[in-house]
């Protein structure tokens, strides 16, 4: 009996230790200085994207090409990459596509028309810029991921209801 209690105590202790380990951040929390730097970076890049979106709105009205801004992203890219790597990928992708978008705004067809492909490039950049703004703002306030979040992101998505049904013998297909 003592052996069973000792084994149960050992399993419970191991489970509690594992749980505590998985709840800790996967990387250290940001220092107040790093958070302030990230806040400045996000604010500056967000303001720059807002100005670019305003230029895109003016383009929609006037069909006159504009040069989009990218100075704040270049200034803060190291901070964004270090402190908000998930958002940085989307921001960098957006800024890499600025020359393509500007070229699409400048190209003209007959009677000053804009080709459908160019219009699609322009509108896709505009929509992505809005998504990037949201991602940047969220990255500034999102706490660091825990180890459990990292483990869970690697696990395949499973529909619990259909799994339970299958285990009970119903064979049930996924309700998707």
Q: Report the predicted TM-score, pTM, of the whole model to 2 decimal places.
A: 0.66
Instruction: Dump pLDDT digits (tens) for 77-105.
Output: 999 999 988 899 999 999 999 999 999 99
The pLDDT value given to residue 3: 80
118's CB contacts (< 8 A; 6+ apart) are 104, 105, 107
Q: Is the pLDDT of residue 171 over 60?
A: no
Name the band, by pLDDT with cuts 50, 70 and 90, for residue 108.
confident
Between 27 and 56, name the one with better pLDDT. Answer: 56
Measured in whole angstroms, the distance separating CA 55 from the mean position of its chain's CA atoms is 24
The tokens for 123 are: 């509108």
Q: pLDDT value at position 50?
A: 96
Q: Are 38 and 140 in contact (CB under 8 A)?
A: yes
Average pLDDT over residues 144-153: 68
Give the largest CA-CA distance in the chain. Answer: 92
Q: Name the average pLDDT for the chain.
A: 83
Tell me what pLDDT residue 20 has: 64
- Which residues face 25 on adjacent strands? 146
Give the integer Cα–Cα distance in Å for 139 and 79: 12
Angle 77-82-86 (CA atoms, 0-180°, nearest 5)? 85
Using pLDDT thresholds of 50, 70 and 90, give the confidence band for residue 25: low
Residue 112: per-residue pLDDT: 79
- The highest-confidence range among 16-20, 94-98, 161-165, by mean pLDDT, is 94-98
Q: Domain-by-domain residue ranges, the chain?
A: 31-143
């Amino acid at each position: 009996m003592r052996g069973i209690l000792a084994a149960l105590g050992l399993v419970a202790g191991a489970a509690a230790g594992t749980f505590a380990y998985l709840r800790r951040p996967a990387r250290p929390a940001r220092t107040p200085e790093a958070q302030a730097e990230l806040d400045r970076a996000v604010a500056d890049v967000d303001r720059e994207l807002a100005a670019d979106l305003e230029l895109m709105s003016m383009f929609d009205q006037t069909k006159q090409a504009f040069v989009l801004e990218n100075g704040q992203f270049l200034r803060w890219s190291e901070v964004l990459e270090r402190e908000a790597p998930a958002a940085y990928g989307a921001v960098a992708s957006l800024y890499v596509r600025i020359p393509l978008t500007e070229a699409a705004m400048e190209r003209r067809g007959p009677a000053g028309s804009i080709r459908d492909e160019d219009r699609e490039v322009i509108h896709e950049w505009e929509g992505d810029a809005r998504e990037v703004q949201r991602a940047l703002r969220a990255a500034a306030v999102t706490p660091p991921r825990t180890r459990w979040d990292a483990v869970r992101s690697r696990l395949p998505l499973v529909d619990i209801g259909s799994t339970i049904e299958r285990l009970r013998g119903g064979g049930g297909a996924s309700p998707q």
